[in-house]
Structure 1
Amino acid sequence: MTSAPPHPAAAESQAPHPAAATTLTLRHTLPDGVTLAAADGRLFLRTDTASAPLGSADPVLAEAMTRFASGLDRTAAEESLLDDPDPVLCAHRLARFNRLAGALSGLLRRHFDLGGTELIQAAPMTGAAPAAPADLADSTPIRLSRAAFLHAVGGRTVVDSAFTTSAVVLTDPRVTALLGALATAAPLARHVADQSLLPEPAARDLVRWLAAYGLVVAADEEESGGARFAEDTGVLGQWSPVDLLMHTRSRLGWQNTPYGATFRLLGEVEPQPAVRPPHTGRTVALYRPAELRLAPDEPRFSEILEARQSIRSYGPAGPTVRRLGEFLFRTARTRARFGPYPERQMPYEAADRPSPSGGGSQDLEVYVTAHRVEGLERAVYHYDAWRHVLVEVCAEAATVDAMLAAATLSKGGETPDAVLTVTSRFSRLAWKYERIAYATTLRNVGALYQTFYLVATAMGLAPCGLGGGDSALVARAIGVDPFEEGAVGDFALGSLPTGALLDAERDRATSGDPRWQGGQAPEWCQVRRTVIAAPDASGTA
């Protein structure tokens, strides 16, 4: 089997140059599957399914543009337009070439070569690609951006950052080594001199281009403690690299990679069922309320909403398993499962619960760590939302203690009567969504938190959403691979405190506090003095 001969433009671009061994050369190519084609004196941008006109172009200009967009050095492409004896025509062609090259700049990939070997490749995703390398003096302190990270994509090493709008591929391992050395801040000249893998002129130019792409940063000024970088101060300094990456990659505007409901695994992996396969273990039947309303005189929705607050202390006795069952029924039960409906763009089974969920995925599961629940042994249980039962998954005292301790550390104060750990069956979302699967899980958690808060408030329970938890501990407790089903939320629940403790919880912010400032209708929340009330003997608030 013989290989196809190289494209003439590519071969031309790789021809030896006097300075090829020490300096970078730049060439451009269109993305795979995109070509330029000329017809009837016009130039077109074409893919397998579409064609876009770029305007008029005589055969000479069309050939120059096609070769330029296939890897020919830009200077060589421009020189091919100057062979005509008519200087006016040459000037017209050159001006038209520059306009077309500018129009394509947001599409063209850039290849930075050294002696015919590609070092890096950069493809614009959103926004304009840098027109020139960064203007860095040899004395300027530089370093790798703290937001930069390396990862493998399709067998290639990609360096990415929340601050770049181009995809930069490291096609030569010498560049990867150079980036590793840039982790420490030092003058550009020192970084260039300390590395020995690339010629100094090429290394200097490469670092300047990486700075233009936002992957290398330059110091604003020198301080007594060293160089100061803008990304470490002000607004940017308040972002962690992980948060920056998730924010920019789960929203449109920074990348042009597939986004949203692409169903990327359709036909490759079967979607998980809407209802989780049941755990094996001791089953605890739960109370199922017969009436929609909590009580004939239950508070109105607006009163419950205004009364909602976090409560971190508890009453002398914990809630009963009956009240826990009613709480779970009203907040997290599965009301129905339905689908798949391919004709509605829903080729998977969905579910319906009181709390909303992206795409009807209902990826979330609830586990209860019971500490002080009357009628329920101290253990970790899975809430089977389809059957409305608890299934014991762990009764080991040390694990139960650790689950409660982690929640107490997050919340502060007393140990909750029960801890609700929210997990996600991640592939329920990852099967359908690209780039936003985990962000959608967190949105689902937020919606469930609010449902927990409102129902707990209406039922006279003490709710408190927690800011974090121990995912590794949860994985051990429930016996599931944390990348298949992992913890994404934690919620403390208990009985309402009484007497002075209850008054203190309801009146934590009052107009008499000089550090408290009212906004819009703050008096509405005073309804909590009547809505948040300990239940009577019948179990109603």
Structure 2
Amino acid sequence: MRVRRCMHLLLEPSEQISFGIAAILRGRVEVGGEVTWVALAAHLERAVVVDAAERALLSEVSAYRWQELSQDVSRSSACVKLLESGLLLSEQVEHAEYLSRDQAVREVHWWSPAAIVHRHSRWQGVDSVGDMRSQGLVTANDLRRNLGPPPSAVQEYEGVYAPLPRQTDSAFDAMLARRTTCRNFDRDRALPLQLLAQLMQRGMMAQAGFEAAPDTVFLKKNVPSGGGLHPVEAYLLVQNVEGLAPGLYHYHPLEHALLALPSPPAGEMSRLACTALSGQDWFADAPAMIVLAPRFERCFWKYRNHSKAYRAVLFDVGHLSQLLYLCATEAGLGAFVTAAINEVDVDRALGLDGIQQGSVAIFGVGWRAGRQETTEFDPAHRVWA
């Protein structure tokens, strides 16, 4: 049998701490621990526990070339386990899915540590709000009581700080002061299509393009992007927008147009929204949400196996979300952005694989409610008097 190792692999020791009950009953504390090794691979959703024999076999097999194993090795329990888990790959039909997944990661040119972090930090079915409530970590006082005081709000150095001259506030400064995360959306008031279109035009539309060759096009948008590649795509989750049926859409930045995608029934959009937002129900009433989903393959086409490429992609998402925030504020709308999302569930709904392209954050926009039912962070009282 010919095998090779998966491309992106990290072995990590995991220690389980235990306390001796008998010693505790005698008034002593005895702490023990058991170390197991887990394998994290970029093409697998979950970690795999590996023993010494399995680790040894992994170290002997190349990730780049196919190797013929002897009958004894290929029939060993270590080899069978590694093939069944997807850490070793073969050309056999029963292992075709793992081989295909691993090949997809290879073709995008991920840097190995980034690929593993990206894959294993994705959520599925997580209720982050329920988790916070069960742990008593909801309010600032909860955090302080359970975690102790945080590091200081400002890094201070010894010496005298020279003050900078303060400028008179302009209309732009007043708008910046109104940029506050909205947790109270008016669920009964539809978002006008014209306002959504304006938001997309300012925040996501390509303002110009440069064609270096028929198959090599670079876009100019209102935000910077690593290498000028602009890999972040926008998908809309529409719940209450005038002139748009509830559902999922893809936005085309050159045509400034929407394409309807296969979507759940209109009555189930709110459930999808709450799942996507990992239970953050204060955001789930937003009339429109924009899923920011980078095409990693576009960025990594230039920055192949590059240690800074994944960071550049996350910067791109940050640039876009801040511009969308400001555009929404200027239009008198409430907005939010969150990275606490169930990426696996979102990607599945949009038909994304999470490797070539995957969701990273969700931006939401709509009319702010007339009453603050969920507390918002507005210490300067620029939104809620």
Q: Scaled by the length of structure 1, what TM-score is found?
A: 0.38
CA distance 1:415–1:150, shift in 2 (3 Å): closer
Quote the offset at 1:377 in angstroms: 0.7
CA distance 1:425–1:178, shift in 2 (3 Å): closer
Give the secondary-structure state (helix, strand or coil) at the position aligned to 1:326. helix
The answer on whether the counterparts of 1:407 and 1:419 sit within 8 Å (CA) in structure 2 is no
Greater Cα shift, 381-390 or 462-471 = 462-471
**Residue from 233, 236, 249 that aligns with 1:365:** 233
Mapped pair 1:306 → 2:167: no
The one-letter amino acid paired with 2:272 is M
Mapped pair 1:355 → 2:223: yes
1:446 corresponds to: 318
The one-letter amino acid paired with 1:322 is Q
Cα root mean square deviation, aligned: 3.7
1:207-356 correspondence to structure 2 within 5 Å: 246=114, 300-315=171-186, 316-340=188-212, 349-356=217-224
Q: Scaled by the length of structure 2, what TM-score is found?
A: 0.53
1:505-516 correspondence to structure 2 within 5 Å: 508-510=377-379
Give the secondary-structure state (helix, strand or coil) at the position aligned to 2:289. strand
Instruction: State how far apart, in whole Å, the 1-side matches of 2:287 and 2:196 are.
Output: 10
The answer on whether the counterparts of 1:372 and 1:418 sit within 8 Å (CA) in structure 2 is yes
Quote the offset at 1:151 in angstroms: 6.7
CA distance 1:509–1:482, shift in 2 (3 Å): closer
CA distance 1:356–1:411, shift in 2 (3 Å): farther
Instruction: State how far apart, in whole Å, the 2-side matches of 1:400 and 1:529 are.
Output: 29
Larger radius of gyration: 1
Quote the offset at 1:247 in angstroms: 12
1:411 corresponds to: 280
- By relative contact order (CA 8 Å, sep 6+), the higher-ranking structure is 2
Quote the offset at 1:402 in angstroms: 4.1
The one-letter amino acid paired with 1:374 is E
1:163-174 correspondence to structure 2 within 5 Å: none
1:255 corresponds to: none
CA distance 1:399–1:357, shift in 2 (3 Å): farther
The one-letter amino acid paired with 2:285 is T
Give the secondary-structure state (helix, strand or coil) at the position aligned to 2:249. strand
Give the secondary-structure state (helix, strand or coil) at the position aligned to 2:293. strand
Q: Which runs of 5+ in 1 are unaligned?
A: 1-139, 153-172, 181-244, 251-298, 342-346, 511-524, 531-541
Q: Which runs of 5+ in 2 are unaligned?
A: 1-30, 43-51, 60-112, 119-169
Give the secondary-structure state (helix, strand or coil) at the position aligned to 1:487. coil
The answer on whether the counterparts of 2:277 and 2:340 sit within 8 Å (CA) in structure 1 is no
Percent identity over the alignment is 25
**Residue from 372, 383, 391 that aligns with 2:259:** 391
The one-letter amino acid paired with 2:239 is H
Instruction: State how far apart, in whole Å, the 2-side matches of 1:427 and 1:501 are.
Output: 42
Instruction: State how far apart, in whole Å, the 1-side matches of 2:354 and 2:268 are.
Output: 16
Instruction: State how far apart, in whole Å, the 2-side matches of 1:175 and 1:389 are.
Output: 52
Give the secondary-structure state (helix, strand or coil) at the position aligned to 2:360. strand
CA displacement 1:171-212 (0-9 Å, x = unmatched): xx85935999xxxxxxxxxxxxxxxxxxxxxxxxxxxxxxxx
The answer on whether the counterparts of 1:312 and 1:411 sit within 8 Å (CA) in structure 2 is no
Quote the offset at 1:489 in angstroms: 1.3
The answer on whether the counterparts of 1:404 and 1:416 sit within 8 Å (CA) in structure 2 is no
Mapped pair 1:470 → 2:342: yes
